[in-house]
Amino acid sequence: MSTVVLRQLTKTYPTGVTAVDHVDLTVADGEVMVLLGPTGCGKSTVLRLIAGLDPATSGHIEFGGAGVDDVPARDREVAMVFQDYGLYPHLTVAENIAFPLLNHHVEEAERDQRVREVADLLDLSDVLDKRPGRLSGGQRQRVAMARAIVRHPRVFLLDEPLSNLDAAVRESVRNHLADLIHRLDVATIYVTHDQTEAMCLGDRVAVMRQGRIEQIGTPEEIYSDPQCLFVAAFVGSPRMNLLQAAVHIEPGRRAVVDLGAQTLSLPWSNARARALATHHGARVTVGFRPDALVPTGDADGADLHGVVRLVEHRGHDALVHLETGSVPTPHLISQLELPDAHGELAHILGEEPPVAHPLRRRLARIVPQPRRADEPGRYALQPTYSPEAEPAREALGDVTARVPAASAPRVGETVSLRLDVDHLYLFDRAGDRIALPATSVALREAV
Ligand code: ADP
Ligand code: MG
């Protein structure tokens, strides 16, 4: 058992691709660290470097305080479970599990003993004589796990071990796995692109993008305190609403977040409004989760109004897609798997919507309009349009609210919503979160 430390770990492949870019990471003994990120962000490469299967270009790896940079893979005492298990079809389950012990000079009696132990732990005792071809997907996954842990590794690495399972069994296997890897009590690094797995399995989660770690924290921190736009958009399902906005400060009165056709207004008595003072005139991205929107019957006291475009019934709740006249982050970008250079994402999100960029074609439908001084959107920092006036557009809404199924509105209705200001996130043009003091004052509370 050992703590794993990565220092400025970097891997550039001969093709010129830098798959891992100056990664610093500490995984404590017994801790389960999840590497979460889109396909191609470098997760598997990190594991291969730790296992010693590939040499790092630069940087260092330590186990238990001692450098292992020069230790060959077979001597690192690392166990790795891959996506495709790699079981030997012609060997029985028992032989598959015992296989890693064969070239480690373990006595036969001890070998049988260890196989029985892990088979018991993983509920495989009844299938020890079967061949992998006769097992279910979940059983095969457990055999791969058993084979990995039979050697009592110092470090346990898992690379998307659930991705080959049917959705129907994935949840139960995942919960079983969570229980097992926590009981093993070794430094574990678990790779996935699935945020549900990450949230459920990780003591901490490191969110990766393009070879770098964007944020490390507990699942709770990653979800509720995202430090950048990428993490905010990647973590959470349904996705966080992300809208382009501009900040306008009326000193001593209020801070206005201009969304286009509508504005959010924070009274000056709210510490958050004052904290925004230095951002006067700045273009920002506003984020709030679908849960932060609560329908209200009080249209005048509402923070946002939207026309319902689509209602997605999900059983106990419903996702209501609304048109609010805002400028959303295009869905294509929300997948965040596009190969783009650092900073380009924030650039795309933060810029005014031109028509040229193919990713932003959706934004081109928004036609800037002159505004009258008495209109709510009089700041004219954002282009504006009226959702009611353009009912024929194919858009499915720019904002999503999660509501109880029983109170879901109908398509075409106009809904008034209150927005929980404690759960409002602002990001600057570089995509970094703008720090705002915590407050529990409602947006529209008296000035
Ligand atoms: P992930 O596991 O997050 O999907 P990988 O670590 O497999 O990501 O890959 C990260 C990047 O490195 C990708 O751009 C991928 O194409 C590239 N890559 C991975 N393995 C190799 C390799 N052996 N040679 C060249 N490029 C590679
Ligand atoms: Mg991978």
Enumerate the β-bridge partners of residue 400.
321
Residues 222 and 360 in one domain: no
Tokens of 226: 């995202």
DSSP-derived letter for residue 53 is S
231 domain residue, yes or no? no
Distances (CA, A) of 233 to 71, 286, 326, 330, 346: 39, 11, 17, 11, 12
Residues 209 and 255 in one domain: no
CA distance 41 to 36: 9
Give me ligand 1 centre to Cα 391, in Å. 45
Residues 164 and 282 in one domain: no
Give me ligand 2 centre to Cα 131, in Å. 27
Residues 208 and 296 in one domain: no
For residue 157, is pLDDT > 80?
Answer: yes
**SS3 call for 320:** strand
Plot region of 84 (φ>0 → left; ψ -120 to 50 → alpha; else → beta) = alpha
Residues 41 and 186 in one domain: yes
Atom of ligand 1 at shortest distance to CA of 11?
12
CA distance 208 to 90: 38
48 domain residue, yes or no? yes
Residues 222 and 248 in one domain: no
Residue range 406-422, pLDDT digits in tens: 999 999 999 999 997 77
Residue range 187-201, pLDDT digits in tens: 999 999 999 999 999
Task: Classify burial at 294, counting beta carbons within 10 Å of its beta carbon; exposed 0-12, middle 13-18, buried 19 or more.
Answer: middle
Q: E-assigned strands of 193-251?
A: 204-209, 212-217, 241-250
How many Å separate Cα 181 from the centre of its chain? 21
DSSP-derived letter for residue 329 is P
Residues 220 and 248 in one domain: no
Q: Are 3 and 151 in contact (CB under 8 A)?
A: no
Instruction: Give, using CA atoms, the residue closest to atom 24 of ligand 1.
Output: 13
Residue range 357-395, pLDDT digits in tens: 444 444 444 443 444 445 544 454 554 555 555 544 445
Instruction: Give, using CA atoms, the residue closest to atom 26 of ligand 1.
Output: 13
* Residues lining ligand 1, Cβ inside 6 A: 13, 15, 17, 19, 37, 39-45
Range(s) of the domain holding residue 399:
241-446
Atom of ligand 1 at shortest distance to CA of 211?
10
**SS3 call for 107:** coil
Residues 214 and 147 in one domain: yes
CA distance 64 to 155: 10
176 domain residue, yes or no? yes
235 domain residue, yes or no? no
For residue 61, is pLDDT > 90?
Answer: yes
| Of 11, 18, 45, 214, best ligand 1 pocket probe by most atoms within 8 Å of the beta carbon | 45
Tokens of 210: 């393009």
| Of 10, 11, 12, 13, best ligand 1 pocket probe by most atoms within 8 Å of the beta carbon | 13
Which carries the bigger pLDDT value, residue 372 or residue 111? 111
For residue 226, is pLDDT > 90?
Answer: yes
Give me ligand 1 centre to Cα 53, in Å. 14
234-238, 249-253, 317-321, 393-397: which has the minimum mean pLDDT? 393-397
Residues 93 and 209 in one domain: yes
Number of domains in the chain: 2
Give me ligand 1 centre to Cα 404, in Å. 42
Give me ligand 1 centre to Cα 42, in Å. 6
Instruction: Give, using CA atoms, the residue closest to atom 7 of ligand 1.
Output: 44
Residue range 281-291, pLDDT digits in tens: 888 889 999 99
Look up residue 8 and give its amino acid. Answer: Q
Residues 194 and 250 in one domain: no
Pick the last residue of a domain from 179, 202, 226. Answer: 226
Residues 215 and 292 in one domain: no
CATH of the domain at 55: 3.40.50.300
What is the rounded average pLDDT of the residues 108-128? 91
Residues 247 and 222 in one domain: no
46-55, 85-94, 271-280, 423-432: which has the minimum mean pLDDT? 423-432
